[in-house]
Amino acid sequence: MAQGSTILLTTQYLDEADQARRPDRGHRPRPQGGRGHARADSRPASAGSTLHLRVAQRDQAARAAQIVERVLGEAPVLTPEAGGLNIALSDANQTADVLIALRQGEVDITAAAVRQPTLDEVFLTLTGHHAEDETQEEVA
């Protein structure tokens, strides 16, 4: 029976891990007997892209969230900074649908950007909670 090895590099700083590169994308032996499995390998496609918006008037954020939910079928996450929304996109082309709907709904935006998810967002997608939530539970 062939023996393999696993190398696990860890960091407590997700920003640092976000910038790290995988050292070897080559040969990956399969686990013997189907015992081991990977929860995720790199960034999952299911995490998609994220559209970050800032509305011109803070009181329009709730209306913007309703419009986004109507268009995409999923509520966006309101950001800690006032008037900000993070919108998960399964396809970056959905950006146009959201922006058009906001324009038609007379919601003014001051900024819009589409980007790949951070490791924090990937963690949330895979586990259903933020990494900080887990850390706070361990401390309590």
**End-to-end alpha carbon distance in the chain:** 45
**What is the pTM assigned to this prediction?**
0.56
3-state helix, strand, coil in the chain (%, to 5): 40, 15, 45
Residue 91 contacts residue 71 (beta carbons within 8 Å): no
Query: Which pLDDT score is estimated for 45?
Result: 47
What confidence score (pLDDT) does residue 116 get?
A: 80
pLDDT, one tens digit per residue, over 64-91 is 999 999 999 999 988 877 889 989 888 8
60 inside domain: yes
Give pairs for 13-19: CB < 8 Å, separation 24+. Answer: 14/118, 14/119, 14/120, 14/123, 14/131, 15/118, 17/119, 18/118, 18/119
Contact 95, 68 (CB under 8 A): no
Does 15 fall in a domain? no
Quick: pLDDT tens for 17-36.
666 655 544 445 544 544 55
Name residue, tokens 């590169």: 21
How many independent structural domains does the chain possess? 1
Average pLDDT, the chain: 75
Assigned domain for 80 exists: yes
* Cα–Cα distance for residue pair 139/99, rounded to 1 Å: 41
- Say what the pLDDT of residue 80 is: 74
Whether 86 is in a domain gets the answer yes
Highest mean pLDDT among 86-95, 114-123, 125-134 belongs to: 86-95
> What pLDDT shows up at residue 25?
47
Q: What is the pLDDT averaged over residues 122-129?
A: 72
Q: Is residue 88, in this structure, part of any structural domain at all?
A: yes
pLDDT of residue 83: 86
Residue 89: inside a domain, yes or no?
Answer: yes
Domain that holds residue 60: 45-127
Predicted local confidence at residue 49, as pLDDT: 84
The sign of the torsion formed by the CA atoms of 23, 25, 28, 34 equals positive
Nearest to 86 by CA among 39, 120, 133: 120
State both tokens at 5: 């090895």
- For residue 35, being part of any structural domain is answered with no
Nearest of 103, 97, 14, 88 to residue 51 by alpha carbon: 88
Instruction: State residue 44's pLDDT score.
Output: 47
Q: Does 22 fall in a domain?
A: no
| CATH number reported for the structural domain that contains residue 77 in this entry | 3.30.70
* Joined tokens for residue 127: 């586990």
- pLDDT value, residue 8: 63
